[in-house]
Structure 1
């Protein structure tokens, strides 16, 4: 993971809150049991992408919550490990 990608992951990690997640927030889609970053809000549905990049999916905001500190840490550890091993996350 490049320094630029790591900064994006770190910038997109916020603690859990009761408000709807903002674009760029690291979230958990409870319906799919997936972790991702909110990329957009279109037609009342959130578009979420895995933290390491990849294909977005649509999620009902009712089933989405901000990631907890332990989940945020897991993403940061994975990004750091990928960087140390010389591969992209």
Structure 2
């Protein structure tokens, strides 16, 4: 589904959009605007993902190991291995 909206753009931007359409690089003005908005949406999502990863890396030790797994690693390291047979 799509909705029609009205936007006001600077003349230079409209000229650029029209040039893309005239040069057959896009089928319509709407396509150019939709592509730009989709790129912006993906950029916004990537920025949010980067912020999440940055927050996670703050909880990692200097070697990249997560601090919350240190206790598990200590326990696993001190647990004797048993024969699986």
Under a length normalisation based on structure 1, what TM-score does the superposition of the two structures give?
Answer: 0.27
Q: Which has the higher contact order (CA 8 A, sep 6+)?
A: 1
Higher strand share: 1
- Give the helix-richer structure, 1 or 2: 2
Q: Rg larger in 1 or in 2?
A: 2
